[in-house]
Amino acid sequence: MGRPVDQCLQQFVNQSPWDWQPVRKRLAGHLAAAFRAKAWVVEEVAFPKNGANSVGVARQFAHSAGRLINCQLGLAVMLVGEHGGCPVNWRLLLPRSWDDDPARRARTRIPAHERYRSRWEHLLEAIDEMVLDWGLPPAPVVVDARATPRVEPLLRGLEERGLSYVARVGESALMRGRMAGWGFGEAAGGTSANGTTLSGPRRDRGLRSHLTTVPLEVPGALDAPRPRRPAKRSVTVEWAQGRNGPKAIWLTDLGESRLPEIAGMIELRRRAAAQLALMDAESGLRHFEGRSFRGWHHHVTLVSAAHGYRLLRGLDAEPAHARVRSYG
């Protein structure tokens, strides 16, 4: 009995021609109706692999793993609220090496239009799909942009769409920004007298952390066909007691007076990471055994649907007044 069922399931995931996009749209609609997401959190997900035949696999650095591994890299856009979160949109990040390998592309059935693109291009495309095609109410975007060599196009894209954001960047991005005239070197060093400090109950391995934020103004693109107004941003630095140097550096368009909200957005990203770990443990998120482009998208969609179902069941079990307090 077990073997035929396993074969049917494998065929449903790997070979069946069903379209995953309407499933994701329906899942997002159910979750958006059940609770108001406080943020759209963007997370990298690494799928460790042996060999080189699974779609998009390469030896590459995965920030989510903190090391160089042989893996597939996926980008998940998650709806996250007080009591949990769930991915509703996915992109598979194809390495450049797959663009010029027609044999592997044919074996894994990659559509001709699917090529290497930067992470910010994938992300903005996914967000446009969610807002324009799915009709979801927008939410602030929280993203770890350390793997994005040029963060400016991502930030500009979010600003042009009217989306608030909190984006984690590396020190190299800070240096490039300073050279471009952004002027937040003092905040990175924690020496600004204009910074605001927030000490909260959040703890990291038993150490209290706090945030310091400083406003900055980015020059507009004067050489653009339609010169843009300067973007008003701030840099927020997260510190932990007992550490030399900042723990994390964030760029945001939320003003320095909204530091508690910024802290809440950062906390939501940690909650999103915990939800992905739960999906891995309960639904085998990273255990995709197929090799095709279609199969990968089917797998992550089904795992997301399973996790979303658990979240909705949990909400159904709560009294209505408790849900209002949690998400109102």
Over residues 243-274, the pLDDT tens digits come to 677 888 999 999 777 888 999 999 999 999 99
**Local confidence band at 201 (pLDDT 50, 70, 90 cut-offs):** very low
Pair 129, 152 in one domain? no
The reported pLDDT for the residue numbered 247 is 85
Cβ atoms of 44 and 147 closer than 8 Å? yes
Residue 214 lies in a domain: yes
Residue 60 lies in a domain: yes
Pair 102, 156 in one domain? no
Residue 213 lies in a domain: yes
The reported pLDDT for the residue numbered 140 is 96
Reduced to 3 states, what is the DSSP secondary structure of residue 208?
A: strand
Residue 26 lies in a domain: yes
Pair 184, 268 in one domain? yes
The reported pLDDT for the residue numbered 231 is 66
Domain count, the chain: 2
Residue 82 lies in a domain: yes
Average pLDDT over residues 153-168: 95
Q: What are 228-237's pLDDT values in tens digits? A: 555 688 889 8
The reported pLDDT for the residue numbered 194 is 42
Residue 223 in this model has a pLDDT that exceeds 50:
no
Residue 2 lies in a domain: no
Q: What are 181-197's pLDDT values in tens digits? A: 444 444 545 444 344 44
Residue 291 lies in a domain: no
The reported pLDDT for the residue numbered 238 is 87
CA atoms within 13 A on the CB side of 116: 9
Pair 79, 171 in one domain? no
Query: Where in the chain does DSSP place strands (E)?
Result: 39-48, 58-62, 67-81, 84-92, 141-144, 165-169, 196-204, 207-218, 231-240, 248-252
In the chain, what percentage of residues exceed pLDDT 70?
75
Domain that holds residue 153: 148-200+209-218+230-273
User: Could you tell me which residue, 321 or 71, shows the higher pLDDT?
Assistant: 71
Pair 242, 189 in one domain? yes
The reported pLDDT for the residue numbered 9 is 54
User: Could you tell me which residue, 147 or 154, shows the higher pLDDT?
Assistant: 154
Q: Lowest-confidence range among 84-93, 110-119, 226-235? A: 226-235
DSSP string, 79-94: EEETTEEEEEEEEE--
Residue 287 lies in a domain: no
Average pLDDT over residues 293-317: 92
